[in-house]
């Protein structure tokens, strides 16, 4: 089979070298994590040995389960990451994407109208994602029905899994269709300024989804019930009142029908704000611990962490779409990946292909910014921890709550510092306990 792309083109070189470098970096990081786990996974960190609950919780059996769970995920990832890299390379090097583009053009009569462009854009996006979906499906099923079942997390049934897939694909297709139609119209009607309008639309879409998701999408997958009266609700309401957080309700989600993992989240804004607790979380934590964990989440609100992230995200949205706009007009980008019929005269009509290719190139090297965003995130987590401890009057409930959550979720206790620096958006349990203990 002939190679369909220009291997000497800078865009292709960046994609190939970036993809391989990302693969090697991640494999190195996962290897040192596995090696550290084999060496230290059977011991309780010194910082936790001073806490009776930690010593009691992380017994020999628990430590073995944590290491075994992490190892199972690691060995599955070793195989899946290698196969996905090979697939990515093959799809690019042997011209899969130009082939799909030519098929889409013939099928839709593209280019002609906004409707044709919309159909071509949507069909190309969907068909292009099929190989990765098919190849990744067995690994996803293995994770859910073998690893998660083995370690007592998954309560998923085949019927529920199939239902989730159908609903997820339907919702995803609807949302993708809406955004694709808007983009297609902008590409044709606003060729010089689509990047600015599209960025504004994407930002507005993000805010709209904060209202739409909890009200209309989440209930398709889970049942949400108001938190029952009792000590837990009283503790939470006291914290909310103390912080001055007005919300649209406290809800319990039936997460246990799928998984034993515990979590909680805030959604919406304004009058639509709501707090959602996994039913598994209510079973794991005492009312004081539950209030402390929510106190941490309220810290993000009170310390304006979300606002600060938006102040970064919104300008970045405009910058990124502008760069995509510029790259979508580079004929060399198309030609590099086998789109030989794209010229300066017709490049404006196929900008969705340019955006796809530019995003693909960026994804191959985006690993380099992972540590930067994680540093920022971990700093905010420390601040939210301190706030949660302060609003509860003591760090102890948050410390014991974090220990229980770490234990319930079989999270590692002593990952290597380099691994944490690169991959962790939250500090480790040991780091958080040490900071809280020093308050």
Strand partners, 123: none
DSSP string, 88-125: HHHHHHTTHHHHHHHHHHHHHT-SSSHHHHHHHHHHHH
Residue with tokens 């990515």: 88
The three-state secondary structure class of 154 is strand
Token couple for 271:
């009058």
Q: How far is CA 121 from the centre of its chain?
A: 24
Cα-based distances in Å from 119 to 109, 347, 361, 427: 9, 18, 24, 45
How far is C-alpha 429 from the geometric centre of its chain's CA atoms?
21
User: Longest Cα pair distance anywhere in the chain, in angstroms?
Assistant: 72
- Pairwise CA distance, residues 282 & 227, whole Å: 10
Retrieve residue 365's tokens. Answer: 């090297």
Dist. CA 395–CA 387, nearest whole Å: 9
Sheet holding 264-267, edge to edge: 224-226, 250-253, 274-278, 264-267
Q: What's the CA gap between 296 and 397, in Å, rounded? A: 11
Please confirm, yes or no, whether 408 is among the known catalytic residues: no
* Spatial distance between the Cα atoms of 75 and 430, rounded to a whole number of angstroms: 25
Residues 6+ away with beta carbon under 8 Å from 269:
207, 210, 211
**Residue 422, SS3?**
helix
DSSP at 213: I
Contacting residues for 128 by C-beta, under 8 A, at least 6 apart: 96, 97, 100, 356
Please list the residues that pair with 178 across neighbouring strands: none
Catalytic residue, candidates 229, 231, 289, 297:
297
Q: What is the dihedral of CA 231, 232, 238, 243, to 10 degrees?
A: 170
- Residues known to be catalytic: 297
């Amino acid at each position: 089979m002939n190679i369909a792309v220009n291997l000497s083109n800078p865009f292709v070189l960046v994609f190939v070298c970036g993809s391989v470098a990302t693969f090697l970096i991640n494999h190195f990081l996962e290897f040192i994590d596995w090696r550290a786990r084999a060496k230290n996974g059977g011991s309780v960190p010194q910082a936790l040995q001073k806490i009776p609950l930690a010593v009691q919780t992380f017994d020999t059996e628990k430590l073995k389960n944590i290491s075994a769970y992490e190892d199972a995920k690691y060995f599955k990832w070793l195989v899946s990451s290698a196969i996905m890299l090979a697939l990515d390379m093959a799809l690019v090097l042997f011209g899969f994407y130009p082939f799909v583009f030519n098929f889409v053009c013939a099928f839709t009569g593209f280019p002609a109208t906004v409707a044709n462009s919309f159909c071509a854009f949507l069909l190309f996006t969907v068909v292009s994602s099929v190989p990765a979906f098919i190849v990744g499906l067995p690994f996803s099923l293995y994770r859910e029905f073998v690893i998660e079942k083995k370690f007592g997390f998954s309560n998923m049934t085949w019927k529920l899994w199939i239902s989730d897939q159908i609903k997820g694909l339907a919702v995803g297709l609807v949302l993708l269709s809406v955004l694709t139609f808007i983009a297609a119209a902008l590409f044709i009607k606003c060729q010089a300024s689509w990047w600015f309008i599209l960025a504004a639309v994407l930002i507005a879409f993000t805010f709209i989804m904060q209202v739409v998701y909890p009200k209309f999408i989440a209930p398709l997958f889970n049942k949400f019930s108001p938190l029952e009266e009792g000590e837990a609700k009283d503790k939470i309401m006291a914290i909310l009142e103390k912080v001055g957080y007005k919300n649209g309700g406290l809800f319990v989600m039936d997460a246990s029908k799928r998984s034993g993992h515990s979590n909680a989240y805030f959604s919406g804004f304004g009058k639509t704000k709501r707090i959602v607790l996994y039913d598994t979380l209510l079973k794991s934590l005492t009312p004081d611990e539950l209030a402390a964990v929510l106190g941490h989440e309220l810290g993000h609100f009170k310390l304006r962490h979300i606002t600060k992230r938006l102040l970064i995200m919104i300008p970045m949205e405009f910058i990124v779409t502008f760069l995509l706009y510029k790259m979508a007009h580079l004929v060399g980008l198309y030609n590099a990946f086998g789109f030989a019929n794209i010229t300066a005269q017709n490049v404006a009509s196929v900008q969705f292909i340019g955006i796809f290719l530019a995003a693909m190139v960026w994804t191959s090297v985006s690993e380099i910014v992972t540590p930067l965003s994680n540093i920022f995130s971990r700093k905010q987590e420390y601040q939210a921890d301190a706030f949660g401890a302060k609003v509860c009057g003591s760090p102890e409930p948050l410390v014991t709550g974090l220990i229980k959550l770490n234990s319930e979720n079989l999270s590692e206790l002593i990952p290597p510092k380099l691994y944490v620096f690169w991959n962790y958006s939250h500090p480790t349990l040991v780091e958080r306990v040490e900071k809280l203990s020093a308050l």
